[in-house]
Amino acid sequence: MNTVINSASKFHQTALLRTGQLRIQHAQRPLIEALNWEVSAGQFWCVLGRNGAGKTSLLNVVAGLAQPAGGRIHLHGKALDAITPHELARVRGLLQQHQIDTFSSSVIDTVLAGRFPWRDSSSWGNNEQDRRVALAALAALNMQQHAQRDVLHLSGGERQRVALATLLTQAPELLLLDEPTSHQDIPAQMTMMRFLRTLAEQQGKALIASCHDINLAARFATHALLLGEGECWQGRVADVLNVANLERVFGSGFERVETVQGAVYLAR
């Protein structure tokens, strides 16, 4: 089943990302079948499902880093495989769940790498405007005071925020985020999700994030894609995240509790 609920965006009348009959598999095991999906500017999608459901695989395929088993992916109406790597880097960016650093680099130099798609080799990293963009991205994530630190000496949560600052410096229209709250404590998770919602609402970015925390998704995302075995549900969060769908996907009982901050789902 592939339930589609359309939603108009104040930023964009047509979809930035569109998939048609998309099929994804891993080691010959089907993960996602016949996904017809549209994501527009101003939307913040959370992708939820059990471990191994295909959340990370979906992000990698949409990013162009892995091939689908079938179907179509279009960005701005253009087939993904027809977009040059340089052009693609200006349209979409990917935040991996884990950051691996093999050599020392300052935080500011790491973030400046995000400007690569916008500069030729002679000016990259030596442009004052690039530095202003990079410092503004760090400031947005309250990391400007760490600009001269070595990334090898950051905590996991700090390194994840630097990675997001690099993505902001890259300035794509579509942000693909694999577990953006990983390595973060609870207050930092809340701050991160609130910040991502703001990117969608105020800057018109399109965001797709894989998530494990149902309640963070329910509180901050505008839309949800819920992956089950051979089926999925998609649309506005309020229409997709409910007890019946969650129980079907996760194989566990759930209770919906109303709070002043909205609905909370408790596993039984």
Task: Tell me the three-class secondary structure of the chain, residue by residue.
Answer: CEECCCCCCCCCCCCCEEEEEEEEEECCEEEEEEEEEEECCCCEEEEEECCCCCHHHHHHHHHCCCCCCEEEEEECCEEHHHCCHHHHHHHEEEECCCCCCCCCCEHHHHHHHHHHHHCCCCCCCCCHHHHHHHHHHHHHCCCHHHCCCEHHHCCHHHHHHHHHHHHHHHCCCEEEEECCCCCCCHHHHHHHHHHHHHHHHHHCCEEEEECCCHHHHHHHCCEEEEECCCCEEEEEHHHHCCHHHHHHHHCCCEEEEEECCEEEEEEC
**How many Å apart are CA 180 and CA 161, to the nearest integer?**
9
More confident residue, 26 or 8: 26
Q: Is residue 197 part of a domain?
A: yes
Question: pLDDT (tens digit, 9 = 90+) per residue, 61-72?
Answer: 999 999 999 999
- pLDDT recorded at residue 77: 92
Tokens representing 144 are 């400007």
Q: What is the pLDDT of residue 254?
A: 95
In a domain, 155, yes or no: no
- Reported as a pLDDT band with limits 50, 70 and 90, residue 1 is very low
* pLDDT tens-digit map of 148-204: 999 999 998 899 999 999 999 999 999 999 999 988 889 989 999 999 999 999 999
Contact between residue 177 and residue 142 where contact means Cβ atoms under 8 Å apart: no
Full residue range of the structural domain in which residue 17 is found? 2-99+172-267
The verdict on residue 56 lying in a domain is yes
Q: How many domains does the chain have?
A: 1
| Residue at 54 is within a domain | yes
Q: 13-27, pLDDT tens digit by residue?
A: 578 999 999 999 988
Is 128 within the bounds of a domain? no
121-144 pLDDT per residue, tens? 555 556 888 999 999 999 999 999
CATH number of the domain enclosing 27: 3.40.50.300
Residue 232 lies in a domain: yes
What pLDDT does residue 4 have? 36
Top mean pLDDT of 3-7, 14-18, 90-94 is at 90-94
| Whole-number average pLDDT of the chain | 90
Assigned domain for 200 exists: yes
Question: Each residue of 232-246: pLDDT tens digit?
Answer: 999 999 999 999 999
The pLDDT of residue 48: 97
In terms of pLDDT, which residue wins out, 32 or 119? 32
pLDDT of 226: 97
The one-letter amino acid at 189: Q
| The pLDDT value given to residue 3 | 38
Please say if the pLDDT value at position 79 is more than 80.
yes
Structural domain contains residue 259: yes
For residue range 208-222, list pLDDT tens digits in order. 999 999 999 999 999
Q: Give me the mean pLDDT over the 101-114 stretch.
A: 92
pTM over cut 0.85: yes
User: Looking at residue 2, what is its pLDDT?
Assistant: 42
